Amino acid sequence: MVLAEQTADLAPVENGDGSTEYLSRGRLIRRRFWRHRLARLGLPVLAALYLMAIFSDFIAPYRPDTRLKGFKDAPPSVIHFGVDENRFQPYVYARKRTFHSKTFREIYTEQEDKKYPIHFFVRGDTYEILGLFKLDLHLFGVDEGANITLFGTDSVSRDLFSRTVIGALVSLFVGLGGVAISFVLGCIIGGIAGYLGGIVDEFIMRIIDLLIAIPTLPLWMVLSAAIPRQWPVAHTYFAITIVLSIVGWTGLARVVRGKLLSLRDLDFVTASKLAGGSDLYIITRHLLPNFASHLIVTMTLAVPGMILGETALSFIGLGMQEPGVSWGVLLDDTKNFGALVHQPWKLIPALFIIVTILMFNFVGDGLRDAADPYSL
Amino acid sequence: MLRIIARRIFILIPMLVLLSMISFIIIQLPPGDYLSSYVTRLESQGLTVDEAEVARLEQRYGLGKPLYQQYFRWMRNFIVNGDLGRSFGSYGSSYDNKPVTDIIAERLPATMIISIVSTIVVWAIAIPIGIYSATHQYSLMDYLSIFIGFIGLAIPNFLFAIIIMWIVFAQTGHAVTGLFSLEFRHAPWSIAKVIDMLKNVWVPVLVLATAGTAGLIRVMRANLLDELNKQYVVTARAKGLSERRLLWKYPVRIAFNPIFSTIGWLLPAMVGGEALVSIILNLQTIGPVLLTAVLRQDMYLAGSIIMILSALTLIGTLISDIALVWLDPRIRYD
């Protein structure tokens, strides 16, 4: 009897060796999630990507608009190791530009007599943190006279690595911002539909049907065409987030409504009502915990769609504009696929997009498995 | 059954009207209108703008009137004459001042062919693989299909198009752009033109089908796995039904349900994906026209395209609902 009381909130889990453990819901969820191998891979990778985005100004050796004079379409720098006594000291060679005699394409050759060691925590270009204070510390860099371009440079001599890292800030957070707005809209509107039911529900659901009927990308295109070109980068960014969530909230609203409808007539809700529970108490104590996990799954799986949306819009010139940097803007350089044959490094930002989308899907899959920890 | 269909068609009509309104409002959203952007464009080229000319254009397109009057004018012309207005054109393309219906009629067939062919390819590949994956869970093929599924999911269509073009160009020096050979590019639709298109259509189909296949394999596998673990399957097996009959009689049929119920969404998804792919591959479909129209605030053209695509989606949803009732006798709409 005593045991039963203690384990009222716990679920029995049989271990492989025949013993039984009693785990709380939270621990069950965590255990389930970690059992999903791909999710276990996805979470740290995503964390690393977001950390990279947050500290992008520090990680990037150059500013996104710094032009490395005379280094148009330069390939990635090759990093060598070993300067004098120190075998692990990385360095790059200074590079010299010549032109191909027939095609006039740039050729960069390493000058093996000019070693430039890579220094860490160096002073470089100044950047602002949140517009509050200025800093010029960078994770790494080389002395004046050479440059380090880990991902090569673009067609106007800017460092692609710096631009990729700094572009991550826009591309990664547009998804979170869009999902956050969708979440608020979806919860409120879906909640009203599901809780009130009847004619209100019918009306809201038909509106959602209509919105879903409009092809997403064309709708995004028209809406972002409404963003004035001359707006500052930050405003454009905010506007795009809103455009993305205008479509996004419908999915969340449907989840919230469906769950509310199926839950509100269940016995334990009726019981709580009879026992005198207020609406707010029932919603927060009984309903929310029951579908919070599903909401999180839906939200996680909605993020990659929004990241892709921003990328696509920026790519066709309707999203972020120069001087703003996002992964979609960077892909603009790949439109000339003839040049890609000679400059394949320009596809590196695409790799970042693919990895991000993949990892979000892994984590979403893991969360979906974990969302319902009592099922087997 | 007939009553259900009649009722749904009846609901469809107000939905379509609402949709046309939404389309019309959306295209009015960008600040300024076609005329003001036309005037700025002329001025930026150093040309002076004749006030009388602007007034004449304003009169001709009814641009000075309030929004609702413009809408009714547009709708009345469509219902009475089948006229959706003219493209404002004037950006030096072959679409200058052409009727919107003509432009759409010229581009829609190619869009539909690409979408339908891609869909058939997706189903032909994804459904057998999905069934195989579910019945041979955790086999090598299953893991392979899961892997392909994730990759297809993660590579956006337009990136995939760029990568394919890049690879083909690097290998062969041949640029796989366009949908028609030169001699057919501006020819009217004919059987020969369709045949010519089928020769070039594989690149966009490959690009669009890869993403669709990836998604569908996952859905099919998950659905079928759910079904295969149910009691009735165990019962049927215990009664000695052959594995083949056991699989095809019910579980596969039921696993089809979610696929049929999303047929309606297939078209907007395909057109949405197709739009970007077409822009990159330079295909003569609806997508690139819509992009130009949106950028130029060519509002009748953009609005009409959005309206027609959305209407097709609504009709698609209706068809899929009907198919669902027919496929699964347990579903009843009262």
Q: What is the DSSP string of A211-275?
A: HHHS-HHHHHHHHHHTS-TTS-HHHHHHHHHHHHHHHHHHHHHHHHHHHHHHHHTSHHHHHHHHT
For residue B267, the chain A residues in CB contact (below 8 A) are 215
pLDDT in tens, A301-349: 888 888 888 888 888 888 887 788 889 888 887 877 777 778 888 889 9
What is the end-to-end Cα distance of chain B in Å, rounded?
A: 10
Residue of B nearest to A365 (CA): B150
Round to whole Å and give the CA distance between B210 and B275: 16
Q: What is the least distance, in Å, from the CA of B195 to any CA of chain A?
A: 28
Question: Which two tokens mark B281?
Answer: 């591959």
Identify whether A325 is part of a domain.
yes
Q: Of A105, A138, A157, which one is at a domain's C-terminal end?
A: A157
Q: Which whole number is the average pLDDT over B275-295? A: 80
CB neighbour list of residue A66: distance below 8 Å, 6 or more residues apart: A125, A158, A159, A162
Answer whether A35 touches B (CB < 8 Å).
no
What are A108's strand-pairing partners?
A: A97
Which three-class secondary structure state does DSSP give residue B45?
coil
For residue A214, the chain B residues in CB contact (below 8 A) are 19, 22-23, 268, 306, 309-310, 313
Round to whole Å and give the CA distance between A135 and A142: 18
Count of CB atoms situated within 10 Å of the CB of A332? 17
* Closest to A71 measured CA to CA, from A138, A140, A161, A139: A161
Residue of B nearest to A362 (CA): B150
Identify whether A46 is part of a domain.
no
Q: Of A141, A157, A173, which one is at a domain's C-terminal end?
A: A157
Round to whole Å and give the CA distance between A48 and B5: 53
Which three-class secondary structure state does DSSP give residue A151?
coil
Round to whole Å and give the CA distance between A178 and A192: 21
Q: Of A42-51, A95-104, B68-77, B90-99, which range is least confident?
A: B90-99
Q: Which whole number is the average pLDDT over B18-41? A: 73
Identify whether A22 is part of a domain.
no
pLDDT in tens, B126-163: 889 988 988 888 888 888 888 888 788 788 888 888 88
What is the end-to-end Cα distance of chain A in Å, rounded?
A: 27
Q: Are residues A153 and A171 in the same domain?
A: no
Identify whether A97 is part of a domain.
yes
Tell me the pLDDT of chain B averaged across its residues.
77
- Max mean pLDDT range (A8-12, A276-280, B298-302): A276-280
B273 pLDDT exceeds 50? Answer: yes
For residue B156, the chain A residues in CB contact (below 8 A) are 308, 311-312, 353, 357
* Closest to A195 measured CA to CA, from A257, A281, A280: A257
* Closest to A88 measured CA to CA, from A97, A79, A96, A75: A79
Answer whether B154 touches A (CB < 8 Å).
yes
Q: Are residues A152 and A167 in the same domain?
A: no
pLDDT at A51: 93
Q: Are residues A361 and A213 in the same domain?
A: yes
Answer yes or no: is the ipTM higher than 0.90: no
DSSP state letter for A78: P
Q: How many contiguous H segments (helices) and E segments (strands) does chain B have?
A: 15, 0
Answer whether A340 touches B (CB < 8 Å).
yes
Identify whether A232 is part of a domain.
yes
Count of CB atoms situated within 10 Å of the CB of B233? 17
For residue B29, the chain A residues in CB contact (below 8 A) are 222-223, 225-226
What are A94's strand-pairing partners?
A: A111
C-alpha distance from residue B31 to each of A222, A321, B44, B295 (Å) = 12, 18, 18, 12
pLDDT at B332: 59
pLDDT band, residue B297 (cuts 50/70/90): confident
Which positions 94-133 of B are in contact with A (Cβ < 8 Å)? Answer: none
A-B CB pairs within 8 A amount to 134
Please name the member of B26, B153, B170 whose beta carbon is closest to the beta carbon of A341. B170
As a whole number of angstroms, the longest Cα–Cα distance in chain B is 87
Round to whole Å and give the CA distance between B220 and B252: 9
pLDDT at A6: 46
Q: Are residues A152 and A194 in the same domain?
A: no
Q: Are residues A233 and A99 in the same domain?
A: no
Q: Which whole number is the average pLDDT over A135-148? A: 84
Q: Are residues A357 and A303 in the same domain?
A: yes
Pairing of strands A86-99, A80-83: antiparallel
Q: Of A100-109, A206-215, B176-185, which range is least confident?
A: B176-185
Q: A307 is in which domain, residue-wise? A: 162-370
Round to whole Å and give the CA distance between A110 and A92: 9
- Inter-chain touch B166–A347, beta carbons under 8 Å: yes
* Closest to B146 measured CA to CA, from B208, B209, B218, B210: B218
- Inter-chain touch B150–A213, beta carbons under 8 Å: no
For residue A216, the chain B residues in CB contact (below 8 A) are 268-269, 272
Answer whether B158 touches A (CB < 8 Å).
yes
Q: Of A142, A157, A172, which one is at a domain's C-terminal end?
A: A157
Buried b (16+ CB within 10 A) or exposed e, A223-252: bbbbbeeeeeeeebbebbbebbbbbbbbbb
Count of CB atoms situated within 10 Å of the CB of A173? 18
Q: Are residues A141 and A167 in the same domain?
A: no
CB A67 within 8 A of CB A156: yes
Question: Cα–Cα–Cα angle for B297, B301, B303, nearest 5°?
Answer: 80
Count of CB atoms situated within 10 Å of the CB of A133? 7
Which three-class secondary structure state does DSSP give residue A112?
strand
Q: Are residues A342 and A257 in the same domain?
A: yes
pLDDT band, residue A164 (cuts 50/70/90): very high
Question: What percent of chain A lies above the pLDDT cut of 70?
Answer: 93
Q: Are residues A143 and A168 in the same domain?
A: no
* Closest to A343 measured CA to CA, from A70, A108, A148: A108
For residue A337, the chain B residues in CB contact (below 8 A) are 162, 165-166, 169, 175
Element (H, E) at A210: helix A198-213
Round to whole Å and give the CA distance between A216 and A309: 9
The torsion of the CA quartet B220, B226, B227, B228, rounded to 10 degrees, works out to 100
Question: One-letter amino acid identity for B154?
Answer: A
A252 pLDDT exceeds 80? Answer: yes
Identify whether A258 is part of a domain.
yes
* Closest to A309 measured CA to CA, from A217, A180, A177: A217
Question: Cα–Cα–Cα angle for A243, A248, A253, nearest 5°?
Answer: 135
Q: Are residues A145 and A223 in the same domain?
A: no
Whichever domain contains A232, its CATH number is 1.10.3720.10
Q: What is the least distance, in Å, from the CA of A154 to any CA of chain B?
A: 17
CB A80 within 8 A of CB A67: no
Greater confidence (B176 vs A365) lies with A365
pLDDT at B90: 47
Identify whether A263 is part of a domain.
yes
Q: Are residues A288 and A345 in the same domain?
A: yes
For residue B217, the chain A residues in CB contact (below 8 A) are none
Residue of A nearest to B268 (CA): A215
- Quote the crossing angle between the two packed helices B34-44 and B51-61, to the nearest 10°: 150
Q: Which whole number is the average pLDDT over B26-49? A: 68
CB B34 within 8 A of CB B299: yes
pLDDT at A163: 92
Answer whether A335 touches B (CB < 8 Å).
yes
Number of structural domains, chain A?
2
- The residue with tokens 């219906």 is B101
Identify whether A34 is part of a domain.
no
CB B325 within 8 A of CB B7: no
C-alpha distance from residue B60 to each of A202, B56, B57, B85 (Å) = 41, 6, 5, 11
CB A125 within 8 A of CB A108: no
Pairing of strands A106-117, A86-99: antiparallel
Answer whether B288 touches A (CB < 8 Å).
no
pLDDT at A50: 94
- The residue with tokens 């769950």 is A259
Strands (DSSP E) found in chain A: 11-14, 20-23, 80-83, 86-99, 106-117, 119-129, 133-141
Peptide bond before residue A76 is cis, with ω within 30 degrees of 0: no
pLDDT at B334: 47
Q: Of A94-98, A161-165, B52-56, which range is least confident?
A: B52-56
Greater confidence (B96 vs A93) lies with A93
Q: Are residues A152 and A170 in the same domain?
A: no
Helix, strand, coil share of chain A (percent; to 5): 60, 15, 25
Answer whether A312 touches B (CB < 8 Å).
yes
Please name the member of A210, A228, A358 whose beta carbon is closest to the beta carbon of B15. A210
For residue A213, the chain B residues in CB contact (below 8 A) are 15, 19, 268, 310, 313-314, 317
A226 pLDDT exceeds 80? Answer: no
pLDDT in tens, A58-117: 888 888 888 888 888 888 888 888 777 777 888 888 888 888 888 778 888 888 788 888
Strands (DSSP E) found in chain B: none
Q: What is the least distance, in Å, from the CA of A310 to any CA of chain B?
A: 12
